[in-house]
Amino acid sequence: MNTVITELSGKGIPIRGNEIDTDRIIPARFMKCVTFAGLGAYAFYDERYNDNGTPKNHVFDRSEYEGHSILAVNKNFGCGSSREHAPQALKDYGIKAIIGESFAEIFAGNCTALGIPAVQLSEQDIHEVQAAIEQNPSLELRIDLSEKMLQAGDTAYPIHLPDAFRNSFLDGTWDSTALLLSGKKEIERVYASLPYLAFNTASV
């Protein structure tokens, strides 16, 4: 069954700065993996730790943001390499949505394929939301994809998401695996109708 996503709620993590690229999100040396499992531990690793392993007091490691699931970022987040490892690392860390001024197109597409909406706000609005989160880390954020609104405490902000991405969340087609499985009976019917596939696998 397709997973429809109409809204998401959570608390925010403000990450300030424009042009934060995928190498900063997940350094290349941590991409030597067979699966994406465990990549969350290395999200923003070089931003979080010195060469000797001591912490730099990055927002990901501050107690007031522990367990928060919505990133609040600035302009052209996820630029640089098109590596899928960047959104995979964020997902494994526990990020469920990203709000920001703008995103690199491929990064936003990769996020969508993982069920992570990357929604846009105006420059002024995202700065206001980041400041509000910093002032009150417990601020509840709610992203409503149907109404194209972000509710941050008592304040509502209009959001933008390309129609193709937004529609895929609203109808569940972002989840390609679920979409494939939903057609299982039709796949089996076509499979059975193809003579060159009708052989005895037990004899192979």
Confidence (pLDDT) at 97? 98
Which regions of the chain are under pLDDT 50?
A: 200-204
Is the pTM higher than 0.75? The answer reads yes
Q: What is the pLDDT of residues 111-159, one digit of tens each?
A: 999 999 999 999 999 999 999 999 999 999 999 999 999 999 999 999 9
Which residue ranges make up each domain of the chain?
Answer: 7-174
Stated length of the chain: 204
- Comparing CA positions, the residue from 82, 76, 4, 16 lying closest to residue 47 is 16
Q: Which of 75, 102, 98 is nearest to 18 (CA)?
A: 75
Cα–Cα distance for residue pair 76/69, rounded to 1 Å: 20
Whether domain 7-174 has CATH 3.40.50.150: the reply is: no
Q: What is the pLDDT of residue 177?
A: 64
Q: Which long-range contacts (CB under 8 A, 24 or more apart) does 159-163 make?
A: 159/99, 159/119, 159/120, 159/121, 160/119, 160/120, 160/121, 161/117, 161/118, 161/119, 161/120, 162/108
Q: Strand locations in the chain, DSSP E?
A: 7-14, 70-72, 97-100, 118-120, 140-144, 149-152, 155-158
Amino acid 146: pLDDT:
96
b/e map 34-59, b = 16+ CB within 10 Å = eebeebbebbbbbbeeeeeeeeeebb
